[in-house]
Structure 1
Amino acid sequence: MKISRIIKRRSVAKEVADKGRIQINGKLAKSSTSIKVGDQMQIQFGNRIVLYEIKELHESTKKEDAAQMYVILSETKQEDFA
């Protein structure tokens, strides 16, 4: 996630995964979970849920090329119900 710049720091990515806010192909992911091209990754950022499809994997990339590594399939906002 750091290389693709979806989440910019490893420590933050680990924290998000440890809190159960990342799913890979519909299954809860740990910070050590591997991903591959074609996987769908869902991340909850606060009240926003974003579904990505992984298009490319690289060991490193330039900032300008990072967005080509994935496509956003959907983005939804959870409403707080009182």
Structure 2
Amino acid sequence: MRIDKFLKVSRLIKRRTLAKEVCDGGRVKINENVAKAGSNVSVGDIIEISIGARNTKVKVLGVKENVRADQATELYELL
């Protein structure tokens, strides 16, 4: 799954267009490598997101096309 879509589906970033801008701005890393919006994410990957003063690091636990809002946190684990 594309990283921009994963960020939106997991509700780490609310809108896919914002997720795409953040990725293309070099503020997202997958396993220590800078990720573009089209980079693939899979189970076990470590994602680092830097937006402003907020830094978030998560481990991917699942990849699904659609989930309900209350199930979104099951897709990742905060590190």
The alignment's TM-score, normalised by the length of structure 1, stands at 0.86
Aligned match for 2:17, one of 8, 11, 18:
11
> Percent of pairs identical after alignment?
38
Match of 2:67 in 1: 61
Structure 2 stretches lacking a partner, 5+ long: 1-6
Greater strand content: 1
* Aligned residue pairs, count: 73
Q: CA deviation at 1:8?
A: 1.2
Shift of residue 40, structure 1, vs aligned partner: 0.1
Structure 1 runs of 4+ with >2 Å offset: none
Match of 1:44 among 46, 50, 66: 50
What amino acid is aligned across from residue 20 of structure 1 in structure 2? G
Structure with the higher helix share, 1 or 2? 2
Greater RCO (Cα-Cα under 8 Å, separation 6 or more): 2
Higher CA-based Rg: 1
Structure 1, gaps ≥5 residues long: 74-82
* TM-score normalized by the length of structure 2: 0.90
Which residue identity does 2:16 align to in structure 1? R
- What is the RMSD of the two structures over their aligned residues, measured on CA atoms? 0.6
